[in-house]
Amino acid sequence: MKKLLTSILAMIWLSPFAAAIDLHGLVAVGPFTSYASTRDSVTVTCGDRSEVRFYILAPDLIRVRASFRAPLPARDHSWAIDKTTWDVPKWNVSEQPGYLLIATDEVEVLVHRPDLLVEFRDAKTHQTIDADALPMMFDPRAADGRVAATKKLGFDEHFYGLGEKAAHLDKRRGQFSMWNSDTPAYHEGTDPIYQDVPFYIGWQAGQAFGIFFDNSYRTNFDFAGESPDHVVFEADGGEMNYYFFWGPAMKKILARYADLTGHMPMPPKWALGNQQSRWTYYPDTVAEDVVARYRAEDLPLDVLYLDIDYMNGYRVFTWDPHGFPDPTAFTDKLRKEGVKVVVIVDPGVKYEPPEPGAKDAATNPELAPQDKSYYVFNEGVKNNYFLKRKDGKLWIGAVWPGKAVYTDYTLDGAARWWGDLHRAYLDHGVAGIWNDMNEPSDFLDQTGKTQMDVVTYDGGANSLYAENRNVFALNEARATYEGLTRLRPNERPYIITRAGYAGIQRYSTMWTGDNTATWDAMALSIPMFESLGLSGEPFVGADAGGFIGRTNAELLTRWYEIAFLTPFCRNHAQRDAYDHEPWRFGTYYEDIIRKYLKLRYRFMPYLYTVLEEAHRTGMPIFRPLLLNYQADANTLNIDDEFMVGSDLLVAPILEPGSATRRVYLPEGTWINYWNGAQIAGGRMVRTEAPLDTVPLYVRGGSIIPMGPEMPYVDARPEDPLTFQIYPDAQGKAEVTLYEDDGISPAYRDGAFRRTAITYQSHAIDVSSPTGTYQPGARNMVFVVHNPPPVREASLDGHVIALRKGTGVLSVGIADDSRAHQIQIR
Ligand code: MIG
């Protein structure tokens, strides 16, 4: 055994690892001595007493968990995991010459002897998918030290995912760390930033696998940036604990990942509406003026944000008595305009011991002066809800209110309390919550180094900060989500967060923090959204116009040509930034922005259908071309284009002064949305893109459901509901439209409507809808693009009116919730 360790160590010393991930000082687990199996797992015991356990969760999902020089601990808990009980699939274990073989119908796991190299193979072809280059490693000097796994790099292997990274789409040759960090004005290469999702997808020869390294300590990933041929993932502490997903379809991996870490619940439909923010709209009348101007300018708007100044002295769960003296009247006024109010909530609670004899108001304490006594601080102290250091003293940081304390959201009581505190907003008609600064940000120390002795209850483990920083925001979001659910059970919570960890999608949507008003930041947002989508977070967006710095008319206009099809569409700006609401640069630019905002609302039936697909299947809304065209190696690093769902492709202009660009269109037929021209894909095309035109293509074979223009979501019925039919080369197209009430959780109990529409052989078939939701009386219009030469149309055999336009024909019927066939001849 000694000889083996020495030889492995020699291997490591000789390997060309240098700075970034330094495996020196770590030792390998091993050697393989025996194994034992249960119903759903195989545990290998090593000569050094280490244990490596393989859990067979699904035919394409294997969990690997190891302990070093000791048996695996009984405690097995992760804040990221949603599904802990799996139906054990068919599998078996057998001893083979040189290795132990664990096989399901889809994956083979080879555990090589004696040195415990783990190899994953495709059960059908027996080809290697992913294999260890070195055995798992541990730090023998520390009880809770570093752990590492080292995989071989494939010659043509590419890497995707990793959550929120200020980096290009393909992570090959990149190195990344996971440590939630407040990083204003981040740019390409800033790492880490706000959120951390230690999940990646590997692609080789068109086939994909996934690895989720579920370890909330600071983790590091090296996709052969340091060594020429090794992929390493390692953590500062905690367990070697990862999940291996076999596709080969990326979509299958994302679906499994969603099952494992949780599906995004349906947000309210208005979350897809246009949103406006600024640091800061103050006082209430300014916010009202912004909304009034939106309406006067005929610009659609659903949501207005209140940044930190609505609070009384930056105290969370209070209202500023001067700027917002009557918050209920304020939200009422905006609601009459169809505008919902979202308020910012920071986790830092002002440290404010009460003055002697001071008391908190028994009712509506959020409206009281707070200057002598602050109810949130008092309640938190009294109940021991705030995080403390090992020595029992409060952890006091500094945030906007000055000295601040932080809540231990892993304490059930504290989480419930925090959730219930949102009454201070909901009672005044606030519609949603914006969780900022939850890395958590501390002006005294943004690195976390001086906070390492902060203790988190963590289910009784009383674990330290190193393990809990990355899941702080996840637990805050959980407390918030559960609080909103309790306080307003008949409405879907709407939460948006800055920091997060794997699983955050169960509770919150996200935005990419403090970007800059630069062309580079706008361009970077595309791979960022695409990567977040490949990391289980479907509802993403950035501050349109750029948060920090001075934006300009052209940049803002081009930004909206991306934002209008981004799930989260919000204009926001820093306190001292030049104003950049849509009208601020004059009518020429405003007219273009209006055109795109209105188009977003016309696309709403399509966007909502794609949103529901994200909820149900884990597929992102904002996708890299690669996800839809996985076999096409031309798409491996395309991140200056994106797709929305499967049917829309956007190739925005990402530099100033440009009015033309090249666009890669994958195999198939594509239709230029603006002029209806049909284009054969599988090649690069050049297209014109003057300032008012973003290159936008529709996939041949799709049907895009569209509604009328709206000032805000569901301001009136989607009437007429128009199905834009774009046949493929075989003359076929299809869609299944999803609808529900847009606000309540009743969709979970079948209160939705799915309407399948198919087009083939010159016939439009409307299926009889499924689900119990009734959208009400309305008309349906079917527009066939590039139609065949026809003379008449019939509905269920009876002749109906047929309208012809250039390159299109259309027919209309009443939607009576029944199946119909429309023939065109
Ligand atoms: O330290 O609340 O990312 O959107 O406007 C800055 C003020 C605090 C950071 C957020 C930004 C917000 C700002 N906040």
Is 442's C-beta closer than 6 angstroms to any atom of ligand 1?
no
Angle at 229 between CA 228 and CA 232, to 5 degrees: 105
Is 308's C-beta closer than 6 angstroms to any atom of ligand 1?
yes
Contacts of 523 (CB under 8 A, 6+ apart): 640, 654, 655
Q: What is the DSSP letter of 30?
A: -
Catalytic residue status for 439: yes
CA distances from 558 to 303, 562, 591, 689, 696 (A): 22, 7, 13, 10, 13
Residue 10 has pLDDT above 70, yes or no: no
Q: Choose the residue to mutate in 180, 279, 310, 342 for probing ligand 1, maximizing ligand atoms within 8 Å of C-beta.
A: 279
Is 348's C-beta closer than 6 angstroms to any atom of ligand 1?
no
Helix (H) or strand (E) holding 555: helix 553-563
- Catalytic residue, chosen from 191, 222, 408, 436, is 436
| Neighbouring C-alpha atoms within 13 Å toward the C-beta of 558 | 28
574 CA: nearest ligand 1 atom: 5
Is 344's C-beta closer than 6 angstroms to any atom of ligand 1?
yes
Residue 540 has pLDDT above 90, yes or no: yes
- Catalytic residue, chosen from 191, 408, 442, 514, is 514
Annotate 674-722 with DSSP letters as a single string.
TT--EEE-SEEEEEE--TT---EEEETTEEEEE----SSTTSS---SEE
Q: Residue 579 pairs with which residues in a beta bridge? A: none
| Distance separating alpha carbons of residues 465 and 475, to the nearest angstrom | 14
pLDDT recorded at residue 142: 85
Is 519's C-beta closer than 6 angstroms to any atom of ligand 1?
no
| Distance separating alpha carbons of residues 575 and 164, to the nearest angstrom | 24
Is 570's C-beta closer than 6 angstroms to any atom of ligand 1?
no
pLDDT recorded at residue 21: 67
> pLDDT averaged over the chain?
96
Catalytic residue status for 87: no
Is 317's C-beta closer than 6 angstroms to any atom of ligand 1?
no
Answer for the pair 497, 196: CB distance below 8 angstroms, yes or no. Answer: no
pLDDT recorded at residue 11: 46
What percentage of the chain has pLDDT greater than the value 90?
96
Produce one character per residue of 746-769: b if its CB has 16 or more CB atoms within 10 Å, e if not.
ebeeeebbbbbbbbeebebebeeb
The backbone region for 513, taken as left when phi is positive above 0, alpha when psi lies in -120 to 50, beta otherwise, is: left
Residue 18 has pLDDT above 90, yes or no: no
Q: Choose the residue to mutate in 307, 441, 443, 574 for probing ligand 1, maximizing ligand atoms within 8 Å of C-beta.
A: 307
| Neighbouring C-alpha atoms within 13 Å toward the C-beta of 515 | 28
Ligand 1 midpoint to CA 409 (Å): 22
Catalytic residue status for 514: yes
| Distance separating alpha carbons of residues 546 and 538, to the nearest angstrom | 21
- Catalytic residue, chosen from 439, 714, 718, 815, is 439
Ligand 1 midpoint to CA 436 (Å): 7
Q: Model confidence over 201-241: pLDDT tens digits? A: 999 999 999 999 999 999 999 999 998 999 999 999 999 99
Q: Model confidence over 625-657: pLDDT tens digits? A: 999 999 999 999 999 999 999 999 999 999 999
Q: Residue 755 pairs with which residues in a beta bridge? A: 737
Residue 160 has pLDDT above 70, yes or no: yes
Kindly state the tokens that stand for 96.
Answer: 């083979």
Residue 335 has pLDDT above 70, yes or no: yes
Ligand 1 midpoint to CA 501 (Å): 20
Ligand 1 midpoint to CA 783 (Å): 45
Residue 466, amino acid:
A
Angle at 495 between CA 560 and CA 440, to 5 degrees: 100
Is 513's C-beta closer than 6 angstroms to any atom of ligand 1?
yes
Kindly state the tokens that stand for 708.
Answer: 């009328």
Query: pLDDT band at residue 143, thresholds of 50, 70 and 90?
Result: confident
**How large is the angle between the packed helices 284-296 and 327-336, nearest 10 degrees?**
0
Is 116's C-beta closer than 6 angstroms to any atom of ligand 1?
no
Answer for the pair 783, 722: CB distance below 8 angstroms, yes or no. Answer: yes
pTM to 2 decimal places: 0.96
Q: What is the DSSP letter of 668?
A: S
| Distance separating alpha carbons of residues 582 and 591, to the nearest angstrom | 9
What percentage of the chain has pLDDT greater than the value 70?
97
